[in-house]
Amino acid sequence: MSNLNILFLSLIVLSSILFSSIILSSCKGDYSVNITGFADSQLKNTTSLNGFIKKKISGLYKVRTGKKMFGDTVVVKWSGTTMSVFARRNEAYMVLKGGSLDSSLVFEGYWRFAQSDRSGNIRLHIAYMEGAKELLQELPPGKVILSGFANEDGTSRSSISLEYIKPLKVNDGFYIVAHRGGGRNSDLLPYSENSLEIIQYAEILGANAIEIDIRLTKDKEPILYHDDNFNTRLIKGEYMVGPVENYYLYQVKNFCTLKKGEIIPTLSEALEVVIKKTNIKFVWLDIKSVEAARISIPVMNNYMKMANQRGRDLVILVGMPTREIFDFIVSGSEYETALKLCELSIDDVRKSNSKVWAPRWTLGYLTNQVEAMQSEGRKTVVWTLDEPGFIRKFINESKFDGILTNYPTLVAYEYYIKDQ
Amino acid sequence: MVSLFKIEPIKINENILLNKFIKYIALLILPLSLLMQNLSAQREFVYFPKAIPAWDISHTAGISLAILPRAIVEEEIRQVPVLDYQLRLGLPYNFSINTRVSAVYIANQASIGLQWSYSYDDFSFSIGDNTAYWYGFADIDGFDIVATGWMNYPFISIGADLEEVYLTIKAEMLIITNQNTSVGETSLYNQRNKMAGYAVSFAIEQPFWKDNDFLLAVRLNYATFMYQSWLAVSTSDNKRMFPEFIIGFIL
């Protein structure tokens, strides 16, 4: 073999090793987002903010600095003690806590690009002369400027400056429905899909409604779980493999957890949390079997009563995704009073007297049918819409009353920016 | 909610399927050495980066099977066999034209490109670029959606002629040029020009039976998008592994 032959053969072997190494080393089986927070947090010594300040800070803001990350405008919205900022560019959002410190207001938290694993810490201030003076005295501020910085991986640092333009419009009944309680595991949220924790996080992500998946255990307990089987995509716990209906509730509770360590909740636990710990207005039960519908509807009705007694503005609806479940629910007189959501045709919606029609987004705007449903006093919600361009188009051009999505932050941005 | 791809309820354990597939390939390859006979001096190849005589044609027909990432398709069908046809037309000055057509009812792609080859002794090198147009549609229950797009695949490949076997390694970039999706009466056009990821292929072309040759390739796509997964309408910017197995007969 000549020297050149040896050289070529070596080149091939080295290339194979190199290319394989590049592919394998860069492959990420599981992406993750690790929010570390600031080691020198300034929130420790702050006083919590009152309702007046939160209300005055909420609004539409112009991005003065940081357009590369967040675009030209952002929406700032409070949910309890958390301030969320929603943007279109990069499908970005921020989640922050705030407090007053001396004569200024400080906010710290994290930012995310919703459709990738890019994230980092963010710290913003409202300086004394940039709105804090009036806000602390509970006077209408002449201007509000949120300024500070965002970092990524604790290193690179970008300046951020947001200037208040106007208050947010009042939600006129549009449902921003968070898929699986808030989003899928693959969306790298801080909590697992279909957990009690993600349900309580949904409003921080911009949702005012949730969809949750209902399956039955072997002892006929409705639980929140999406897939047919226990698998490593959704749970931790090697003992649990195979169909959900093969396991008793005590096994589900004791021998596995969801991916972020949460206990798999029952339907009752989930609805209790919705009623007592959130302001969610709409719960869509995505029922996975006829038997699950039979067991879940009485539970749902009981919690609807509880919500009414507490004066909660809430509807809990049983979904009818298949003909089989539809036929079962329509044929049972005991299910007549249950609030229903139908994914089938508008004739089926009428036949079942469903309150909500929910077609798949891949059918388009369906304007005539949507208007027909609305003229009969029914709501229309489209599912499951994640494509940013289509979210914008559906909000601006279609007549649906809501969107089910894995990216409620993006739907919230497009909704609040519309006609502004 | 009704599942995305649940046209019919198919339960597949992907690990078992993959194991079976690998075993099947192994069983197929082992007897090949026994079947080899009548080696032709003019053996044909499609992947091997050696130049082919001007106006000569090499082509292969077979199937390819891509395994779609669990994070994108979740519990739905992850593997769909696709009919695969590749053709290489020799041009003067060591250039050649490559074409490839992959089709499976709801997801189809056709590509064409140019490559230049250089050989020394038993080793060959080539560099080139392929442009692909893909088309997908679904008008089944719950769908009224059509998607099309252009992709670009610049590549380099090197190969060794081991007398009975042509061994090729190919590295490609996967670039999304644009994409158009229409649902119902509305459509969305995205001008992306975005790097979707890259791919490495390992291909073996060897005699099979009499004058027939056989192609076996594994292509490891590490990308944010692959046309076969278009119906999932994934919006994730994170790259995922899409392994693709290609088996063909060189015609």
Judged against a pLDDT cut of 60, whether residue B74 lies above it is answered with yes
How many CB atoms lie under 10 A from the CB of residue B162?
12
B9 touches chain A (CB under 8 A): no
Q: In the predicted model, what is the mean pLDDT of residues B203-212?
A: 86
pLDDT computed for residue A158 by the predictor:
94
> What is the C-alpha to C-alpha distance for residues B213 and B215, in angstroms, rounded to an integer?
7
- Domain shared by A147 and A240, yes or no: no
> What is the C-alpha to C-alpha distance for residues B27 and B6, in angstroms, rounded to an integer?
32
- The secondary structure of residue A360, as a DSSP letter, is B
Enclosing domain of residue A80: 51-166
pLDDT computed for residue B18 by the predictor:
52
Which of B138, B167, B235 minimises the CB distance to A387? Answer: B235
Judged against a pLDDT cut of 60, whether residue A71 lies above it is answered with yes
Q: In the predicted model, what is the mean pLDDT of residues A264-269?
A: 98
Are B1 and A384 a contacting pair at CB < 8 A?
A: yes
Strands A340-342 and A282-287, sheet pairing = unpaired
Give the closest residue to A370 by CA, choosing from A406, A337, A394, A340.
Answer: A394
Q: What is the mean pLDDT of chain B?
A: 84
What's chain B look like in SS3?
CCCCCCCCCCCCCHHHHHHHHHHHHHHHHCCHHHHCCCCCCCCCCCCCCCCCCCCCEEEEEEEEEEECCHHHHCCCCCEEEEEEEEEEEECCCCEEEEEEEEEECCEEEEEEEEEEEEEECCEEEEEEEEEEEEEEEECCCCCCEEEEEEEEEEEEEEEEECCCCEEEEEEEEEEEEEEEEEECCEEEEEEEEEEEEEEEEEEEEEEEECCEEEEEEEEEEEECCCHHHHHHCCCCCCCEEEEEEEEEEEC
Phi, psi of A23 (to 5 degrees): -60, -50
How many CB atoms lie under 10 A from the CB of residue B35?
12
Give the closest residue to B223 by CA, choosing from B244, B247, B203.
Answer: B244
Q: What is the pLDDT of residues B38-55, one digit of tens each?
A: 334 457 899 999 999 999
Please state at what angle helix A267-277 crosses helix A290-309, rounded to 10 degrees.
Answer: 30
Q: Tell whether A12 is covered by a domain.
A: no
* Chain A residue numbers touching B222 (CB-CB < 8 A): 23, 26-27
- The secondary structure of residue A119, as a DSSP letter, is E
Give the closest residue to A355 by CA, choosing from A327, A395, A314.
Answer: A314
How many CB atoms lie under 10 A from the CB of residue B98?
21
Find the residue in A nearest to B237 (Cα). Answer: A116
Judged against a pLDDT cut of 80, whether residue B30 lies above it is answered with no
Are A117 and B2 a contacting pair at CB < 8 A?
A: no
> What is the C-alpha to C-alpha distance for residues A95 and A83, in angstroms, rounded to an integer?
6
- Domain shared by A245 and A99, yes or no: no
pLDDT computed for residue B23 by the predictor:
54
* Chain A residue numbers touching B72 (CB-CB < 8 A): 186
Structure tokens at A221: 């307990």
Q: Tell whether A269 is covered by a domain.
A: yes
Judged against a pLDDT cut of 80, whether residue B97 lies above it is answered with yes
Find the residue in B nearest to A16 (Cα). Answer: B169
Are A23 and B200 a contacting pair at CB < 8 A?
A: yes
Residues 6+ apart with CB under 8 A from A368: none
- Domain shared by A153 and A184, yes or no: no
Are B184 and A322 a contacting pair at CB < 8 A?
A: no
Q: Tell whether A67 is covered by a domain.
A: yes
Interface test with B, best of A3, A186, A241 (most B CBs within 10 A): A186
Confidence of residue A58 (pLDDT cuts 50, 70, 90): very high
Instruction: Single out the residue in A166, A192, A226 at which a domain terminates.
Output: A166
Q: What is the pLDDT of residues A35-53, one digit of tens each?
A: 778 888 999 989 999 999 9
- Domain shared by A137 and A242, yes or no: no
Phi, psi of A238 (to 5 degrees): -65, -25
- Domain shared by A162 and A183, yes or no: no
Judged against a pLDDT cut of 80, whether residue A14 lies above it is answered with no
> What is the C-alpha to C-alpha distance for residues B219 and A143, in angstroms, rounded to an integer?
57
Give the closest residue to A182 by CA, choosing from A29, A79, A108.
Answer: A79
- The number of C-beta contacts closer than 8 angstroms across A and B is 120
B3 touches chain A (CB under 8 A): no
Which stretch of DSSP H or E encloses residue A232? none
Identity of the residue numbered B16 = I
Contact A353, A335 (CB under 8 A): no
Phi, psi of A100 (to 5 degrees): -100, 140
> What is the C-alpha to C-alpha distance for residues A306 and A271, in angstroms, rounded to an integer?
10
3-state secondary structure (DSSP) of residue A80: coil
> What is the C-alpha to C-alpha distance for residues B146 and A362, in angstroms, rounded to an integer?
9
Task: Express as a percent the part of chain B with pLDDT over 90.
Answer: 61
- Domain shared by A125 and A271, yes or no: no
CATH code of the domain covering residue A369: 3.20.20.190
Confidence of residue B234 (pLDDT cuts 50, 70, 90): confident
* Chain B residue numbers touching A113 (CB-CB < 8 A): 237
* Chain B residue numbers touching A365 (CB-CB < 8 A): 184-186
* Chain B residue numbers touching A186 (CB-CB < 8 A): 71-72, 236
pLDDT computed for residue B41 by the predictor:
46
Please state at what angle helix A388-397 crosses helix A408-417, rounded to 10 degrees.
Answer: 40
- Domain shared by A200 and A89, yes or no: no
A149-171 per-residue burial string, b: 16 or more CB within 10 A, e: under 16 = bbebeeeeebebbbbbeeebeee
Judged against a pLDDT cut of 50, whether residue B10 lies above it is answered with no
Confidence of residue B12 (pLDDT cuts 50, 70, 90): very low
Judged against a pLDDT cut of 90, whether residue B244 lies above it is answered with yes
Lowest pLDDT segment from B16-20, B131-135, B206-210, B230-234:
B16-20
- Domain shared by A182 and A143, yes or no: no
- Domain shared by A161 and A282, yes or no: no
Contact A368, A380 (CB under 8 A): no
- Domain shared by A230 and A293, yes or no: yes
Which of B1, B185, B190 minimises the CB distance to A365? Answer: B185
DSSP secondary structure of A178-204: EGGGT--GGGT-SS-TTSHHHHHHTTT
Q: What is the pLDDT of residues B106-144, one digit of tens each?
A: 899 999 999 999 999 999 999 999 999 999 999 888 899
Q: Is the CA virtual torsion A246, A248, A254, A257 positive or negative?
A: positive
CATH of B14-250 given 2.60.40, 2.30.140, 3.10.350, 2.40.128: 2.40.128
pLDDT computed for residue B209 by the predictor:
79
Q: What is the mean pLDDT of chain A?
A: 93
pLDDT computed for residue A16 by the predictor:
64
Judged against a pLDDT cut of 50, whether residue B32 lies above it is answered with no
pLDDT computed for residue A23 by the predictor:
58
| Minimal C-alpha gap between A138 and chain B (Å) | 43
| Minimal C-alpha gap between A53 and chain B (Å) | 36
> What is the C-alpha to C-alpha distance for residues A329 and A318, in angstroms, rounded to an integer?
9
3-state secondary structure (DSSP) of residue A315: strand
> What is the C-alpha to C-alpha distance for residues B171 and B220, in angstroms, rounded to an integer?
10
Which stretch of DSSP H or E encloses residue A74? strand A73-79
pLDDT computed for residue B29 by the predictor:
47
Q: Tell whether A39 is covered by a domain.
A: no
Query: Which residue's entry shows tokens 């695969």?
Result: B84
pLDDT computed for residue B40 by the predictor:
40
Confidence of residue A249 (pLDDT cuts 50, 70, 90): very high
Cross-strand pairs, B123: B120, B160
Domain boundaries, chain B: 14-250
Q: Tell whether A255 is covered by a domain.
A: yes
Lowest pLDDT segment from A116-130, B84-98, B207-221:
B207-221
Q: In the predicted model, what is the mean pLDDT of residues A227-245?
A: 92
Judged against a pLDDT cut of 60, whether residue A1 lies above it is answered with no
3-state secondary structure (DSSP) of residue A228: coil
Q: What is the pLDDT of residues A272-308, one digit of tens each?
A: 999 999 999 999 999 999 999 999 999 999 999 999 9
pLDDT computed for residue A238 by the predictor:
77
Q: Tell whether A21 is covered by a domain.
A: no
Please count the structural domains in chain A: 2
The alpha-carbon radius of gyration of chain A (Å, integer) is 24
| Minimal C-alpha gap between B145 and chain A (Å) | 6
Which of A19, A364, A388 minimises the CB distance to B169? Answer: A19
| Minimal C-alpha gap between A387 and chain B (Å) | 6
Contact B152, B165 (CB under 8 A): no
* Chain B residue numbers touching A14 (CB-CB < 8 A): none
pLDDT computed for residue A252 by the predictor:
97
Q: In the predicted model, what is the mean pLDDT of residues A81-88?
A: 97
Q: In the predicted model, what is the mean pLDDT of residues A305-313?
A: 97
- Domain shared by A76 and A190, yes or no: no
Contact A274, A210 (CB under 8 A): yes
- Domain shared by A263 and A293, yes or no: yes
pLDDT computed for residue A179 by the predictor:
98
Instruction: Single out the residue in A121, A142, A166 at which a domain terminates.
Output: A166
Judged against a pLDDT cut of 80, whether residue B177 lies above it is answered with yes
Confidence of residue A184 (pLDDT cuts 50, 70, 90): very high
